[in-house]
Amino acid sequence: MTAVAVHLDGLVRRFGDLTALDGLDLHVAPGEMVALLGPSGCGKTTALRLLAGFDYPDAGRVRVAGADITDLPASRRDMGMVFQAYSLFPNMDARTNVEFGLRMRKTPAAARRARAEEVLELVGLGAHAAHYPHQLSGGQQQRVALARALAIEPSVLLLDEPLSALDARVRAQLRGEIRRVQQRLGITTLFVTHDQAEALSIADRVGVMHEGKLEQLGTPEEVYERPATPFVAEFVGTMNRVSARLTGDGHLEVLGASLRASGPHAPHAAGELVDVLVRPEALEALADPHGNATIAERTFLGSFTRMRVKLDDGCELLVDAASRRGLPEPGVRVSVRATGEDALLAGDGAARTGS
């Protein structure tokens, strides 16, 4: 199977007054896994449905391996898809479900059976071939669904929040398996999710969507560490919004530290007050009787502890610290300091502190 490239060119899709996709351009390289990440209603699922052929764009083209497939119906697109809802056919056992796509392609029975066994083995369910969907757990059903999508050796694999109905442990495990299978087969994959941890951990590149547009497309590290826009910064991971003073050389005075300013911004005059975004792990709160803040709340989260800190000016910040003994208790006076190297200038947008 040779991997193919996927191009979405200027896709526009409107539902009545609502513009679900507002000129989406996305290029997925052969064999690459791209995750589309965004809040509900950002257009990520619409983009996937357009690629799958369940819906047609009002403008723009869909190309796979260079061929324009915009007007091709779903049944002739040669794509494997795993859905958010359990989508196995309830009247068929696991093997028959997996064989369905091959049956549609008129594959001879023996070859069909062999291929079904092979992909069921690939997802670790070889022993469950004769089980009906209602006899399988949620995680097993999604694995069979993955096997069913892969059985037809599709040119593109589409994953529409396939893990969101599962509980946390199964989700993490299946996430790893999907990635392993995808890399082994080298299949071009588009993965849609609203879960940032999922997107960051599984994909080669993450595309953050907002209001029908792609805000940023980059590796998980780029998106997390160098968010292109305030929206990306606040949607991916947790962000604090704090006020800072610009110094002359493109630096910022933030909580007693001098940080490099980054992000798109209109030129500001030196000395001007601006809002910047800082991650909780780029702050530290040290017990200090003469400090400028008080610990309001402390939450133990395993490897790290998150503290809600109230500054004397009324502003609240989240500060993460590696869990250890001696972290300040709630009520203790602390001084908060920025420890990172740069800070993103916040736009005048919908930034929310500590979200």
Task: Give CA–CA dist 200/210, Å, rounded.
Answer: 17
Answer for which of 89, 167, 256, 312 binds other proteins (CB under 8 A) is 89
Total interface residues for other proteins by CB under 8 A: 35
Answer for which of 40, 66, 71, 91 binds other proteins (CB under 8 A) is 91
Q: Are 120 and 94 in contact (CB under 8 A)?
A: yes
Which residue's CB is nearer to other proteins, number 40 or number 91?
A: 91
Stretch that binds other proteins, among 27-35, 69-77, 185-193, 290-298 (CB under 8 A): 69-77
Which residue's CB is nearer to other proteins, number 14 or number 213?
A: 14
Task: Give CA–CA dist 189/195, Å, rounded.
Answer: 17
Tell me, rounded to whole angstroms, the distance of Cα 57 from its chain centroid. 23
If one asks whether residue 152 binds other proteins (CB under 8 A), the answer comes out as yes
Task: Give CA–CA dist 87/110, Å, rounded.
Answer: 25
Instruction: Give the nearest distance from C-beta 102 to other proteins in angstroms.
Output: 9
Q: Which residues in 47-66 contact other proteins (CB under 8 A)?
A: 52-54
Instruction: Give the nearest distance from C-beta 98 to other proteins in angstroms.
Output: 10
Task: Give CA–CA dist 303/100, Å, rounded.
Answer: 45
Instruction: Give the nearest distance from C-beta 86 to other proteins in angstroms.
Output: 8
If one asks whether residue 304 binds other proteins (CB under 8 A), the answer comes out as no
- For residue 225, the one-letter residue type is E
Which residue's CB is nearer to other proteins, number 80 or number 230?
A: 80
- For residue 27, the one-letter residue type is H
If one asks whether residue 75 binds other proteins (CB under 8 A), the answer comes out as yes
If one asks whether residue 81 binds other proteins (CB under 8 A), the answer comes out as yes
If one asks whether residue 76 binds other proteins (CB under 8 A), the answer comes out as yes
Which residue's CB is nearer to other proteins, number 134 or number 184?
A: 134
Instruction: Give the nearest distance from C-beta 186 to other proteins in angstroms.
Output: 20
Residue in 346, 340, 348 with CA at minimum distance from that of residue 263: 346
CA distances from 49 to 52, 74, 77, 131 (A): 5, 9, 12, 30
Residues 106-145, one symbol each (x = binds other proteins by CB under 8 A, - = not), give ------------------------xxx-xx---------x
Cα atoms found within 13 Å of the Cα of residue 24, Cβ hemisphere only: 35
Instruction: Give the nearest distance from C-beta 327 to other proteins in angstroms.
Output: 47
Stretch that binds other proteins, among 46-54, 227-235, 262-270, 313-321 (CB under 8 A): 46-54
Which residue's CB is nearer to other proteins, number 188 or number 216?
A: 188
Which residue's CB is nearer to other proteins, number 133 or number 220?
A: 133
DSSP 222-250: HHHHS-SSHHHHHHSS--EEEEEEE-TTS
If one asks whether residue 87 binds other proteins (CB under 8 A), the answer comes out as yes
Q: Are 125 and 177 in contact (CB under 8 A)?
A: no
Instruction: Give the nearest distance from C-beta 68 to other proteins in angstroms.
Output: 19
Structure tokens at 298: 């402390």
Q: Which runs of consecutive H residues, i.e. helices, occur in the chain?
A: 44-52, 94-104, 109-122, 138-151, 168-185, 196-202, 220-225, 230-235
Which residue's CB is nearer to other proteins, number 143 or number 241?
A: 143
Which residue's CB is nearer to other proteins, number 6 or number 252?
A: 6
Q: What angle do CA 202, 194, 34 make, to 5 degrees?
A: 40
Q: Are 196 and 237 in contact (CB under 8 A)?
A: yes
If one asks whether residue 104 binds other proteins (CB under 8 A), the answer comes out as yes
DSSP 53: T
Positions touching other proteins (CB under 8 A) are 52-54, 73-81, 83, 85-91, 93, 100-101, 104-105, 130-132, 134-135, 145, 148-149, 152, 158
